Structure 1
Amino acid sequence: CLWTLTTIVKDILKDKGLPKAGILKKLLAPLDAVLEGFYNSILFHRFDSHHYTSPYSEATNILVSFIDLLEALLASRIELEPLRCQRILFLKVSHVLDVTISSVHYLIKKKFILLLKKCVLYKPREDATNGSLFFQTPYLHEDMLALSNAILQVVDLTWLNRIPLSEKASYFGGSEAAPGDDTPGGPDQTVLRALSLVVLKALEFKFQNSATEAEIK
């Protein structure tokens, strides 16, 4: 079901001849509350079961499919005034941040971190006639502020120090090996760069937001 919905959304986005906004709204609006509920139920969860530590388990496959769906929903919000299911990743990103320091397999953590990178880099399509501005895009400023606040809050609580940089590598904050792992290995540069970018972009947005608020006052 997750895979099917993801495929449909991606196919709609690829087809240049379709009226994407109308089709996506008809597809996603009836599922809006369902998808938000699914987001809450699947991520607000204790991932201490051995089913989540294997990259080949059904539980891991479900999480991978769900991440793919979240990525498709993120890409689709550029086409219409976003529905709640297209905003939930920004508004409740704390669930994702918790998963990245849980006992799930490294594959899941990496995919979520790369998804966070796409969130902080998200930009609306510029209106060729009006030069659509960031603050004029429905909900985007609110969503980015919520995302940035959540990221900076967990960084302040040593979140980075608890994220492994590979299956067999040190944690972000130092050279200490992952618990139970005696095998040396270099850090995953893709994840390292993504984490750094996520934090820097969150800081950048907070600074910009503070400057804008100061100008308004």
Structure 2
Amino acid sequence: CLWTLTAIIKEILKDPVLTKEGVLKKLLAPLDAVLEGFYNAILFHHFDCHHYTSPYSEAAANLISFIDLLEALLASRTELELPLRCQRVLFWKVSYVLNLISLSIPYVIKKKLILLLKKCVLHKSREDARSGSVSLQGLPSCEDMLALSSAVLQVVSLTWLNQIPLDEKSSYFGSSEPAPGDDPQGGSDQTVLRALSLVVLKALEFKIYNSTAEAEIK
């Protein structure tokens, strides 16, 4: 059960006594390939918008539970010297998440996915904390952020942002005009607006940093 696994990971992370790295490895290592397979299946191969017309459907509830699990896996990265594949797949295949956000699915799911992206760009791994000013190139955190940043900037260069609603009923990102039938007095979701802006800015910042670091090495 996704909910049960998420709850266990959260309890491990909260426990001040446990040796978290060892416990998390014992829990997640046997599930590594399975969880990566779930990611591919749930967010891409078997995804069908027709099952997500209502935020109260069973499919929507299961997807929300899986997003909660991804958040827990992201948080658990800090405790491991080298992250597992199931903790990295969100970065490698973030295009699945970006695609879902642009599809016709309930706003509550879009918002959770956008906030998950925000957590990704703000995430600090163990090697980040230890390295200080040392170059992170070649480390998992650098490779993962580079993959995420490249994917985000690629879709932003197209029309992805224009497909992102800032409210359940409001106008779309980058538009000052309310959508037909909307209340012109209704404001946009500032949480989503800030999160989207941060994701784009952080992706751009990392790409610039990485390009500068590569130039210095050469």
Structure 2 length normalisation: TM-score?
A: 0.92
Q: Which runs of 5+ in 2 are unaligned?
A: none
**Aligned position for 1:152:** 153
Query: How far is the alpha carbon of 1:176 from its aligned partner?
Result: 4.6
Query: How far is the alpha carbon of 1:131 from its aligned partner?
Result: 5.1
- State the alpha-carbon separation in 2 of the partners of residues 23 and 137 from structure 1: 26
**Is the 2:36–2:86 contact (alpha carbons within 8 Å) kept by the matching residues of 1?**
yes
**Is the 2:161–2:173 contact (alpha carbons within 8 Å) kept by the matching residues of 1?**
yes
Give the 3 Å change call, closer, same or farther, for CA 215–138 of structure 1 in structure 2. closer
| Residues 41-83 of structure 1: per-residue CA shift (max 9 Å, x gap) | 100044330x312111101100110000000000001111100
Q: Aligned to 2:49, what secondary structure does the other structure show?
A: coil
Query: How far is the alpha carbon of 1:133 from its aligned partner?
Result: 4.6
- State the alpha-carbon separation in 1 of the partners of residues 167 and 189 from structure 2: 5
| Residues 137-170 of structure 1: per-residue CA shift (max 9 Å, x gap) | 8411000000000000000111000000010100
Q: Aligned to 1:69, what secondary structure does the other structure show?
A: helix
| Residues 2-37 of structure 1: per-residue CA shift (max 9 Å, x gap) | 000000000000001001001100100110110011
**Aligned position for 1:192:** 193
**Is the 1:6–1:69 contact (alpha carbons within 8 Å) kept by the matching residues of 2?**
yes
Ranges of 4+ aligned residues in structure 1 off by more than 4 Å: 130-134
The one-letter code of the counterpart of 2:41 is: S
**Aligned position for 2:215:** 214
**Aligned position for 2:48:** 47
**Aligned position for 1:75:** 75
Give the 3 Å change call, closer, same or farther, for CA 102–6 of structure 1 in structure 2. same
- State the alpha-carbon separation in 2 of the partners of residues 86 and 177 from structure 1: 39
- State the alpha-carbon separation in 2 of the partners of residues 71 and 154 from structure 1: 22
**Aligned position for 1:30:** 30
Query: How far is the alpha carbon of 1:215 from its aligned partner?
Result: 0.3
Query: How far is the alpha carbon of 1:177 from its aligned partner?
Result: 4.4
- State the alpha-carbon separation in 2 of the partners of residues 11 and 107 from structure 1: 25
**Is the 1:3–1:69 contact (alpha carbons within 8 Å) kept by the matching residues of 2?**
yes
Identical aligned residues as a percent: 71
Structure 1 length normalisation: TM-score?
A: 0.93
Query: How far is the alpha carbon of 1:173 from its aligned partner?
Result: 2.0
The one-letter code of the counterpart of 1:72 is: A
**Aligned position for 1:142:** 143
Are residue 183 (structure 1) and residue 199 (structure 2) matched?
no
Q: Aligned to 1:212, what secondary structure does the other structure show?
A: helix
- State the alpha-carbon separation in 2 of the partners of residues 131 and 174 from structure 1: 40
**Aligned position for 2:3:** 3
- State the alpha-carbon separation in 2 of the partners of residues 76 and 40 from structure 1: 20
Q: Which runs of 5+ in 1 are unaligned?
A: none
Compute the RMSD of aligned alpha carbons: 1.7
- State the alpha-carbon separation in 2 of the partners of residues 90 and 134 from structure 1: 20
